[in-house]
Amino acid sequence: MAHFAEINENSIVTRVLVTNNDFPNEGYDWLIDNLGGTWIQTSYNATIRCNYAGVGYSYDSELDAFIAPQTYPSWELDENCQWQPPSPYPKDDKRHEWDEDNLQWQLVDHV
């Protein structure tokens, strides 16, 4: 089986479909012949194009990668096409949430 993401004119993923891939290009050719559009292969185990494409992801042709929507405005994309916070998640075995206003992790109160 092969997985393909359809992207729109803004390079945003609109859907991901699974196709037969018994022969080279069989699934891709079927998509083009029957559905049209722009299709790019993706991999559920992220062996190609950094991330498995999901609806709402973008495709960056320069990086040849699918990228999830940005988590927070302050987070930056790393070399593996993952969004990273300005400071690492605390290693204290407690639950934290990102506070974008203060650009830091905040301990979540347990109720």
Three-class DSSP category at 76: strand
Give per-residue pLDDT as tens, 36-83. Answer: 999 999 998 989 999 999 999 999 999 999 999 999 999 999 999 999
For the stretch 1-42, pLDDT in tens is 899 999 999 999 999 999 988 887 899 999 999 999 999 999
Q: How far is CA 7 from CA 25, 28, 71, 76, in A?
A: 18, 14, 20, 23
> Whole-prediction pTM value?
0.85
User: pLDDT, tens digit, for every residue of 91-102?
Assistant: 998 999 999 999
Nearest to 13, CA basis, from 32, 36, 44, 39: 39
Per-residue pLDDT, 107: 95
- pLDDT for 110 beyond 80: no
Choose between 4 and 110: higher pLDDT. Answer: 4
